[in-house]
Structure 1
Amino acid sequence: MTSALAPFDRHRRLLFSVAYQMLGSVSDAEDVVQDAWLRWSAADRSEVADERAYLVQTATRLALDRMTSARSRRESYVGPWLPEPLLTGAGLVASGSAPVDPTEAAEVGEQVSLALLVVLETLSPTERAVFVLREVFGMSMAEVAGTLGRTEVAVRQMAHRAREHVRARRPRFDTDRQSQREVTERFFAACASGDLAALLAVLAPDVVLVSDGGGKAKAALRPILGAEKVARFVAATATQGFSLPGLRVEVAEVNGAPGIVAWAGEEPLLAMSLVVADGVVEQVLIVRNPDKLSGLSAAANDF
């Protein structure tokens, strides 16, 4: 068992990252990693020429198997569906994961923004797998083809379609991390003070807010459009939320960018991700469904 665990642990974070970006779910990604371990521990490893390729192929195919049932569940989901948020600061990439250095943490950096994961939901499962393996992890066409059991020609065509699809729908965002954080902190301060004018000043005129409560937490059942409506919704929500006993709200790194997280004691309440472009907030994505906050709870004590 020990001899099997060491090589698997070397690639555990990579496997989680691949599965998370394909599924948009922390819990499902962790299940994929566990299933991959079971297959790895039962495999004849003497016949495995490339451990990394074998494990990535296993995790990718396990994730693909889960995507059909996951999409079926979303058809009956209450209100808008958003991916599960993930704290990527404090050296964490998943609940239960060991600390990683900054270069390894890049695997779950800007490429796993909630806004991008929402766009990836509009790809077919195989196109999403191709995009993740090729565009995010930089695998060659031959490697992607081998992982998916497809020809290089077919993979190249899917990669082109997926890339164009994502490019057309991916929101604009400021690449300057300092600018992102400054805008996020201004947004947070306006929420905390209930200053409607300050909120309006930091929101783009055509800002969109999407909140995911899954029928289990208070959230808007439809996207909210426009700066004034978004500001009023956020201000009202903040006024109610800040009155909760033991509430702790902070700016933290959520899915590779500055965001806002809240806990009541040790229980996670929400994660908020902002898409910042040209110094203002273009999108506000709020996850409140308690079933989707496992990516926050394990890291709560690190802030």
Structure 2
Amino acid sequence: MKKYCFGIDVGGTTVKMGLFTTEGELLDKWEIPTRKEDGGAYILNDVAASVEAKLAEKNIAKEDVAGAGIGVPGPTLDTGYVSICVNLGWKDKNPANELSELLSIPVKAGNDANVAALGEMWKGGGEGYLDVVLLTLGTGVGGGIIINGEIAPSHRGVGGELGHITVNPDEEATCNCGNHGCLEQYASATGVVRIAKKLLAASKEESSLRTLETVTAKDVFDAAKAGDHLAVEAVEVLGKYLGLVVANVALTVDPDVFVIGGGVSKAGQVLIDVITKYYHKFAKIIGDNKAKVVLAKLGNDAGIYGAARMVLK
């Protein structure tokens, strides 16, 4: 009976790593730098060395390890192949196969957002459900779709790219993906600020936001919670676009629960309430038995939990 597994979440700055029991208890977690030199050629070797060191430290035999999962920031096929990971410098790579060869244990790979969704389903905000959609609102907007306890199949590796659903085809500004009017342009941390600044520029209405040298997403939500009318309006705009996407995804996937994570989710219940309001407005056909909208629970650990879960069937 295998006793342990590893969860690995590769980011552009650090690689987060976790040692788990096969029941899902996190025994240890740590980080190593992501060395992106030479097209990211050192990343997997560094990960393998760190795993080997942890096995030696904990006196764990390879025979007791079920395997390792690895989440990577790019479109990932079921085979573990990634055509490109821009933030790592990887091209035409199969990190699952390469890491498995380095460690001599089974390894599975997945897109980092989908992997985080799996983690939230397993031990986070979606625990107890098998059909879960995660929206991560951070520097960008990511998404992950879990159906019947597994990452939804993605034949081209772009399944769950909810941040690039078009919500405003009349938008003139360009998204980082090259499109116009993506959800990410409104629901990311920079998107929230962008909405607020547009409202400030279009109105002479008094607002506490005008007194700030720089405005952050937290400032906008704090001002809204304090009753600042303009900040409340900015949150409403954000909620409308998020609620629209949640409604459309609900009408396509019909999950049990939507989990909202990422830095912007630290706004808390005010964010959940405004998303739910517009979700219910745009998805009337579902009736009263709509999926819940809840906050994520695992924070930055969602990726390592999900990565570990990938190897535990």
Range into which the TM-score falls when normalised by the shorter chain: under 0.3
State the TM-score, normalized to the length of structure 2: 0.27
TM-score, structure 1 as length reference: 0.28
Bigger strand fraction:
2
